[in-house]
Amino acid sequence: MPLLKRRNFRLDQGIQKLIEERLSTTVQSVNRVSGGDINEAFRIETVNGRFFVKINASVNSIDILKSEQYGLDVLRRTSKVRVPRIVDFLVHDKTGILILEWITRGHSTRDAYQDLGRQLAALHTCRDNQFGSVPDNFIGALPQKNTSYDDFETFYAECRILPQVKMAVDRDVFSKKTLNGFKTFLYKIPLLIPKENPVLIHGDLWGGNHMVNDSGHPYIIDPSISYNHREMDLAMMGLFGGYPEVTYLTYNERLPLIPGWRERADIFQLYYLLVHLNLFGSGYYNSVMRILNKYL
């Protein structure tokens, strides 16, 4: 699991008591660990073992962690990828608390990255008849629509790009003229993106959302699932780095990609950059506009 950030942290006593009651155990120690940008996370030591506890106190606290729980459960039930085992989900004073098994972090190796490529290829064989096809969820702290559509271009426009663009317009990040530019870009999607069947994707597979345990086995964490174009996952993997070439080569051996997937990755990355723009600010503006202008 994530690295320790500070030792002997004092967990809210109401939350700790609730955990002890639900797990029928006694908490012996609590350590804060890295938990992403929107959550607090802890390693708790109990008389019954270690657990990973993620807490979210935002406005959508309960829904965000419930969404993560649902995504992990869906991925686990495919038997295609390794994900942490869900222990429990609790609510304390409008705060969501997700408890997972503790996974001791190991070292990333070539074998582990190859295994990850095989797992991802296997996951992408899980098909549906429509894009979306799961309950609405979250990407980070932002809501993500998963309305079902027959074609990718409509799904990508209505459930991915336009909600993020409109959010940015409402915050005066984009002008109405720029909004029209995005609509022009979206009209071109059928000519730019090859047809693929909707498959189950992780949905937020940047480098920080995978880990290797102390036995050398890769796990994926923090999903934002949907049935989608599989190149969404590949594009996100390449956006901020974190995956060596062997992962892509192994994936491609198991489930060959349509030629040109690297060149068109920025079309899918546009969504994730818009999310980062809305979450973290103007530092992502130029990256968004560079992709948009490339295709206008």
Please give the positions annotated as active site: 204
- Are 8 and 31 in contact by the 8 Å Cβ rule? The answer is yes
Determine phi and psi for 220, rounding to 5 degrees: -115, 145
Query: The tokens of 188 are what?
Result: 């071109």
Strand partners, 171: none
Buried b (16+ CB within 10 A) or exposed e, 246-269: ebbebbeeebebeeebeebbbbbb
Query: The tokens of 37 are what?
Result: 């940008």
The Cα 158–Cα 167 span in angstroms is: 13
Strand partners, 46: 27, 49
- Are 277 and 167 in contact by the 8 Å Cβ rule? The answer is no
- Are 39 and 100 in contact by the 8 Å Cβ rule? The answer is no
